[in-house]
Amino acid sequence: MNAEEYVQQLFVHEDETLAAVRRDIVERGMPPIFVPPHIGQLLSLLIKMNHSREALEIGALGGYSGIWLARGLPLDGHLTSLELNPEYANVAMNNLQRANLGDKVQYLTGPALESLKHLEQEQKRYDFFLIDADKENYPAYLTYAIALANPGAIIAADNALLHGRVTNHEDLSASALAMRKFNETMAHHPLLTAMLITMGDGLAVARVNSNS
């Protein structure tokens, strides 16, 4: 048993509802690219530790990470989730409803950059962000997350290691270049205190410090 397997079997409490959502996504022929259970549990923990009330997710797929996020929120908490594909957003909504979390979540469909622009115009603010969509746009998603953050908000981003591709400097693909830029901004931005947790495919996490 390696360290990740040890952590999975000891610390991760994935119940039947969550396991059924993973099966549902696979059975529908959707890509099985949801966060692994130990990252889901970590996201829930971060939300609780930060007392986040308003969360924003970029990349819903079938609602698997959405359930972990929504479960970390307080009773009056709320999750806004951005998803390109309206069919995926429907599946996600159904899965959140099955988990009795339907009243806590709102899905906005279409390209996330457009939704983010509208949220910025509406002056929305969030306490927690999960970035988990198209990798080329991670730097732009980070810029929006900082702009939409309440002081003390947490920004988390999955796949920060791109399965080893960020550290392979011969990889000059658009996604690898974007993820390196994203990680460098997380590491050096004057408003952020950050770390890249090397669990799973890497979860980059930052706190947005107050600039006042």
Ligand X SMILES: C[S@@+](CC[C@H](N)C(=O)[O-])C[C@H]1O[C@@H](n2cnc3c(N)ncnc32)[C@H](O)[C@@H]1O
β 149-158/203-208 pair status? antiparallel
Task: Give the range of 59-67, 121-129, 167-175, 186-194 binding ligand X by CB under 6 A.
Answer: 59-67
Give the nearest distance from C-beta 33 to ligand X in angstroms.
Answer: 4
DSSP H helical ranges for 50-189: 64-72, 86-98, 112-121, 138-148, 174-188
Taking CB under 6 A as the criterion, the residue among 17, 20, 102, 111 binding ligand X is: 111
- Please state, in angstroms and as integers, the Cα–Cα distance from residue 22 to each residue in 19, 47, 135, 194, following that order: 5, 22, 22, 30
Taking CB under 6 A as the criterion, the residue among 54, 70, 77, 83 binding ligand X is: 83
Taking CB under 6 A as the criterion, the residue among 24, 134, 171, 201 binding ligand X is: 134
Contact between residue 142 and residue 157 where contact means Cβ atoms under 8 Å apart: yes
Kindly state the tokens that stand for 86.
Answer: 């309206």
User: Does 41 interact with ligand X (rule: CB under 6 A)?
Assistant: no
Taking CB under 6 A as the criterion, the residue among 7, 12, 20, 84 binding ligand X is: 84
Taking CB under 6 A as the criterion, the residue among 128, 132, 176, 205 binding ligand X is: 132
Give the nearest distance from C-beta 158 to ligand X in angstroms.
Answer: 7
User: Does 42 interact with ligand X (rule: CB under 6 A)?
Assistant: no
Q: Sheet of 126-131: strands edge to edge?
A: 105-109, 78-83, 54-58, 126-131, 149-158, 203-208, 192-197
Taking CB under 6 A as the criterion, the residue among 65, 95, 183, 185 binding ligand X is: 65
β 105-109/126-131 pair status? unpaired
Residue type, 105: V
- Which is closer to ligand X, CB of 7 or CB of 33? 33
Site residues (CB under 6 A) for ligand X?
Answer: 33-35, 59-61, 64-65, 82-85, 88, 111-112, 132-134
